[in-house]
Amino acid sequence: MKIDDLKVAKLVYTIQSDDPNGQILEQATPEKPRVMMFGVGRIMKSFSDALRGLEPGDSFVFTIPAEEAFGMPSPENQHPLAGHGLFVRGEVIEVRDPTIEEMNAEVEWRRANGLHFHHEHDHGHGNEHHHH
């Protein structure tokens, strides 16, 4: 199964500031992998775009430019990582459909945050909806 909208992926990864020698900002290890649902707007877009289409066992390495990460430094934007890109590498452990509980939790989260649950189709890619 490939990572796509409304799929749940279990990942191990390291996120570093700028490059492979940068400060480690976040780490998901095999002992404590990160589980995330795609296509629901909670993940940085560049991150989910980079992982879409990957399957269990696939490893990934990509960088996210500063503009798409935390933005460029400005009087309002004092984020400590403003102006820094992100270097991400990791591996996909598992991809599955969400459980009923996960879907319900997502709907509840959206309701609590005043968001409506609707699936936005991206018509930019014509080849994502072939089911094998």
Task: Kindly report the backbone phi and psi dihedral angles of residue 113, in degrees, each rounded to the nearest multiple of 5, phi listed first.
Answer: -100, 10
Domains and CATH numbers, the chain: 8-112 (3.10.50.40)
One pLDDT digit (tens) per residue for the chain, 132 residues = 999 999 999 999 999 999 999 999 999 999 999 999 998 878 889 999 999 999 999 999 999 999 999 999 999 899 999 999 999 999 999 999 999 999 998 889 888 888 765 555 555 554 555 455
pTM above threshold 0.85: no
b/e 34-55 (16+ beta carbons within 10 angstroms → b) = eebbbbbeeeeebbbebbbebe
